[in-house]
Amino acid sequence: MNTPATSVADYASRAVGPIILLGAPGAGKGTQAKQIVERYGVPQISTGDLLRENVKLGTELGKKAKAVMDSGKLVSDDLVCDMVAERLSRPDCARGCILDGFPRTVGQAEWLDGFLAARGSKLPLRVIKITVDYNKLLKRLTGRRTCPVCGTIYNMYTNPPKVDEICDREGAKLIFRKDDSEEAIGTRLKAYDNDTLPLSDYYRQRGILTEISGDSEPEQVTNELFRALDKVSI
Ligand SMILES: [Zn+2]
């Protein structure tokens, strides 16, 4: 039997294992990932950051990636997987981590399964999908406003500035970007579905996919997420 954690400190020393968060743009993945990082004290690993870090530090993998990108090509799956493998082997991932933007394909998901199995990791992989009603997503995403000066992103529905259309920081007039139009967002959401459905199917078949509704307030979603994670932490 697991001993239930009773204090915040307990959660921060628990092993939660690798967590994959899936969710369409606007589903609140970023917000929820931050909550997981805070509660469990595990790092958030983004493949974009990892790529930039490797290139900046001039690691062997970074040099390879840079050569590929300089030639105008996309970094291969193999190279991305190698970077993830190196990152997951660092000590701060011992109790778990959140994978952000990885895996992106079923091929990468299979690679990850193999990698974790080969390491003999006892920590179960969890996959949490935050689902949000399509019309709600559309409303959230078209409500986005960006500050042209400091880059802060607001949302007229979920995270409005104190004064309408004005940045809280320096008072600049917020802008509405073309790629936040209903049409552009519809296209993005469709692309997201096409890309990730095979991935959620893959994890559903393996019985490790937990679906959480992201329709309610962020705090409620966080609570549900924590419940799901606490249930199987070891
Ligand atoms: Zn600003």
In the prediction, which pLDDT does 8 show? 63
- Give percent above pLDDT 70 in the chain: 95
What pLDDT, in 10s, does the model give residues 109-154?
999 999 999 988 788 899 999 999 988 888 888 998 999 999 999 9
Q: What is the radius of gyration, based on Cα positions, of the chain?
A: 19
Q: Which long-range contacts link 114-123 to residues 24+ away (Cβ below 8 Å)?
A: 115/81, 115/84, 115/85, 115/88, 116/18, 121/17, 121/18, 122/234, 123/15, 123/16, 123/17, 123/18, 123/95, 123/96, 123/234
- pLDDT range class, residue 7, cuts 50, 70, 90: low
What is the end-to-end Cα distance of the chain in Å, rounded? 9
CA 178 to ligand 1 centroid distance, Å: 19
Catalytic annotation, residues: 29, 104, 144, 177, 188
Contact status, residue 167 vs residue 161, Cβ threshold 8 Å: yes
Residue 162 has pLDDT above 80, yes or no: yes
Q: Would you say residue 75 lies in a domain?
A: no
CA 152 to ligand 1 centroid distance, Å: 6
Q: Would you say residue 179 lies in a domain?
A: no
Give which of 105, 93, 64 is closest to 195, Cα–Cα: 105
CA 23 to ligand 1 centroid distance, Å: 27
pTM: 0.81
- pLDDT range class, residue 175, cuts 50, 70, 90: very high
Q: Would you say residue 15 lies in a domain?
A: yes
CA 91 to ligand 1 centroid distance, Å: 37
What residues are neighbours of ligand 1 (ion), with CB under 5 Å? 147, 149-150, 152, 167, 169-170, 172
Q: Would you say residue 47 lies in a domain?
A: no
Q: Would you say residue 60 lies in a domain?
A: no
Q: Would you say residue 51 lies in a domain?
A: no
Q: Would you say residue 177 lies in a domain?
A: no
CA 154 to ligand 1 centroid distance, Å: 10
Q: Could you tell me the CATH number of the domain that includes residue 22?
A: 3.40.50.300
CA 164 to ligand 1 centroid distance, Å: 13
Q: Would you say residue 183 lies in a domain?
A: no
CA 158 to ligand 1 centroid distance, Å: 17
Residue 127, domain extent? 8-42+95-133+192-232
Q: How many domains does the chain have?
A: 1
